[in-house]
Amino acid sequence: MAFPYLVHSNFEAGTEAEWSSETDVEAQLDFPHYTELARIPGMSAPYSGAYCMRIRPSDTADHTLTHTSIDIADGATAYFRFALFAANDFTGTADDVFSIFELQQAAGTVEATLGMRVTAATNALEIGIGDGTAPSSYVGFPRGRWVIVEIEYLCSTGSAGTFTLYLDGAQAIALASLDNAAAIGQGVLGTQLTLATTTGTLLFDDFIMDDARIYPPNKRFPTTARVTKTAHVFVGRGCIEGATILSANGTMDVYDTDVANTNDAQAKKIELNTGGNFVSNDFVVNFERGCYVVLGGTNPYGEIRLSRKSGSECGPTAYFSDGAIRTYALQRTVRPNNV
């Protein structure tokens, strides 16, 4: 397993900056802050951090991100994992099959597809995989909660390819004897081939590619967070009692902010170089707006240990649920300077 991962996008910049390109002619793809999502009834906060990717299809246009570092040589296996949320309003008035992630040759020919299907008569939503431009096998997909989607793909030009789908860690579909015309040269995330009658919201978060099985996180809101990429460990009020750089190289700065402002020196709480370690059993470091970790240097990664203390020194420790994040986010409408 590569560490950090071969490709990792958590959308924490609030843009597509981590990707090679974006296609979104009809402007249905964006990267909302959690305070925006909190104003929508029934919507979730991002799976982690303060931002995620959102697509609201209501047309036949593509709403996608392309990453040209997603390459799989003939005979090689790659693994992908991301969090996917289908809102309760995601529906269609006609049967629809569409793509949400494609593995393509470098020139754009589709070799394998992860897609979804809406059945209008029953409003059933399914997810599936297939060899080529459309899924061939499906399983049901729930609305209204985050699901960890994983795929394992063996690229083969000799009819020995495999394609496996896992949902929340459990194998859901396995295909074999697939034949690639050529090696994979790019990955495309987002909706393609939707009908104009398919509407609602899909959220995507924490996209990872690696050379070994990644598996779901142990918890969505862990009390000990391994940070492999600049990211928010939590948003809202909270506190930590430890921070450590685990990599042989790099730096780790910890800010009290829930926006990607790495230049605000007054917001910096902890600054660590390689081998640095902050540990405290007697006091905690408080955060009013959110714990934002900035990694720098060569292949850095670190660990943040959230405090288990209770009481006023930590404030509410309620960033452990969607509801608590929503409550905090809505409070910010009356505290607009708390950014």
Instruction: Provide the token pair at 322.
Output: 């969607």
pLDDT tens readout for residues 222-262: 889 999 999 999 988 888 889 999 988 899 999 998 876 55
pLDDT tens-digit readout, 116-148 = 999 999 999 999 999 999 999 999 999 999 999
Q: What is the 8-class DSSP label of residue 326?
A: H
Q: Using CA of residue 12, residue 13, residue 19, residue 21, what is the dihedral sign?
A: positive
Q: Quick one: tokens of 305?
A: 């240990």
CATH topology of domain 7-210: Jelly Rolls (2.60.120)
pLDDT in the model for residue 241: 87
Cis amide bond preceding 4, omega within 30: yes
| Contact in structure between 79 and 209 (CB atoms under 8 Å) | yes
Q: Is 94 exposed, middle or buried (0-12, 13-18, 19+ CB in 10 A)?
A: exposed
What's the confidence (pLDDT) of residue 293? 94
Burial, 113: exposed, middle or buried (Cβ in 10 Å; 0-12, 13-18, 19+)? buried
CB 164 within 8 A of CB 130: no
pLDDT at position 37 is 95
Contact 9, 207 (CB under 8 A): yes
d(CA 246, CA 248): 7
Instruction: Kindly write down the DSSP assignment for every residue of 262-302, as one continuous string.
Output: TT-GGGEEEEE-TT-EEE-SS--EEESSEEEEEEESSS--E
Using CA atoms, how far residue 110 sits from 30, 37, 95, 105, 134, in Å, is 24, 33, 22, 6, 9
- The ranges assigned to domains in the chain are 7-210, 224-331
Q: Up-side HSE of residue 27: CA atoms within 13 Å toward CB?
A: 0
Query: In angstroms, rounded to a whole number, what is the distance separating the alpha carbons of residues 105 and 185?
Result: 5
Q: What is the mean pLDDT of each run of 10 residues along the chain (339 residues)?
A: 86 93 95 94 94 96 97 97 98 97 97 98 98 96 98 96 98 97 97 96 98 94 90 88 90 87 75 83 80 91 82 58 86 54
334 Cβ contact partners less than 8 Å away, ≥ 6 residues apart: none
pLDDT at position 312, please? 55
Other beta carbons within 10 Å of 222: 16
| One-letter identity of residue 16 | E
| End-to-end Cα separation, the chain, in angstroms | 37
